[in-house]
Amino acid sequence: MTEVERADRMSRGGVYIKALAAAVLLLNVWLQYGDAEYSAAGPRGGSWLVLIGLWVVVLWTGGGFMLSRRLRSLLNDELSLQNRSRALAFGFYAALALAMLVYVANWYVPVATGDAMKIVSAGALSAALLCYAWLEWRWR
């Protein structure tokens, strides 16, 4: 198998992993909504922040730090870079929209600070991950 074929296969695998990660993040927010344990500044809340941070790093850099330089450059070629920047922009606007939504919703229903942060961070990250997965998958 050539490196181009290997990169092709890894790129396809990455699409499914990112889509799955987005689904898990959203499911987690939905299932844990209102549970103070998950939002408190304890091990669970801290782990959540680390998880979000790691996914942002993967999305920002393309990941694959252990791969060879050639494979990494194939996975991060100019089309993927363009897709990534579009996905990050989409995530940014999703964060803005979700933050405004939470702000308005809080006039009518009480939303804990931790829950609000989880909704905005997970929602925006999931939007970015799904956007990237879609852009990469559509012309595979």
Partner 1 sequence: MALLNRLKDLRGERDLTQAALADLVGVSRKTINTVENGVFVPSTILALKLARALGCTVEAIFSLEEE
Binding residues among 19-38 for partner 1 as defined by CB under 8 A: none
The answer to whether 63 contacts partner 1 (rule: CB under 8 A) is: no
Binder to partner 1 among 26, 74, 124, 133 (CB under 8 A)?
Answer: 74
Dist. CA 117–CA 64, nearest whole Å = 28
Q: Which of 54, 77, 89, 105 binds partner 1 (CB under 8 A)?
A: 77
Q: Closest approach of Cβ 97 to partner 1, in Å?
A: 27
Q: Which of 25, 48, 80, 127 binds partner 1 (CB under 8 A)?
A: 80
Output the smallest distance, CB 76 to partner 1, in A: 9
Interacting span for partner 1 (CB under 8 A) from 6-14, 17-25, 30-38, 87-95: 6-14
Residue by residue, what is the 3-state secondary structure of the chain? CCHHHHHHHHHHHHHHHHHHHHHHHHHHHHHHCCCHHHHCCCHHHHHHHHHHHHHHHHHHHCCCCCCCHHHHHHHCCHHHHHHHHHHHHHHHHHHHHHHHHHHHHHHHCCCCHHHHHHHHHHHHHHHHHHHHHHHHHHCC
**Given the rule CB under 8 A, which residues bind partner 1?**
2-5, 7-8, 11, 70, 73-75, 77-80, 82, 136, 139-140
